[in-house]
Amino acid sequence: MAGIPLTRCQFLIPFADIHHEIGASTAALLAKFRLPTSLEEKADHYVPILPAIRFAEAAQRSQGITDIGFQAARRLQFCHLSERLVAIIGHSPTLFAALQQVCRWAPLEDTNLNMWLERTDDHVRICSRLAGTAGLLHLEHSQWLQNVFPIHIVRQFAGPDWVPATMAFEARYLPSLETESFWPNTRFLSGQNASWIDVPVSLLSQPNLANNTPPDLSDDESKLSGSEMIGTLKLMLPSYLDEGVPTVAEIAEMAGTSVRSLQRKLSSVGLTYSGLVDSVRFESAAKLLRDTQAKIIDVAFASGYTDPAHFTRAFRRISGVTPRDFRDKWRPR
Contact criterion met (CB below 8 Å) for 332 and 290: yes
- Whether domain 6-203 has CATH 1.20.1300: the reply is no
For the entire predicted model, the pTM comes to 0.86
* CB neighbours of residue 12 within 10 Å: 24
Per-residue confidence (pLDDT) for residue 222, from 0 to 100: 42
- For the chain, what are the domain ranges? 6-203, 213-330
Contacts of 86 (CB under 8 A, 6+ apart): 78, 79
**Segments in the chain below pLDDT 70:** 1-2, 209-226, 332-333
Element (H, E) at 72: helix 68-75
Residue 168: per-residue pLDDT: 98
Asked whether the beta carbons of 7 and 43 are under 8 A apart, the reply is no
User: Residue 159: its pLDDT value, please?
Assistant: 92
pLDDT of residue 220: 43
What is residue 243's predicted lDDT score, i.e. its pLDDT? Answer: 84
Paired with 188 in beta bridges are 167
- Write the DSSP string, 176-240: -HHHHTTSTT-EEE-S-SSEEEEEEGGGTT-B-GGGGPPP--SS-GGG--HHHHHHHHHHHGGGG
What's the pLDDT score for residue 208?
A: 81
155-200 confidence digits (pLDDT tens): 999 999 999 999 999 999 999 999 999 999 999 999 999 999 999 9
CATH 1.10.10.60 fits 213-330, yes or no: yes
Q: Give pLDDT, residue 160.
A: 92
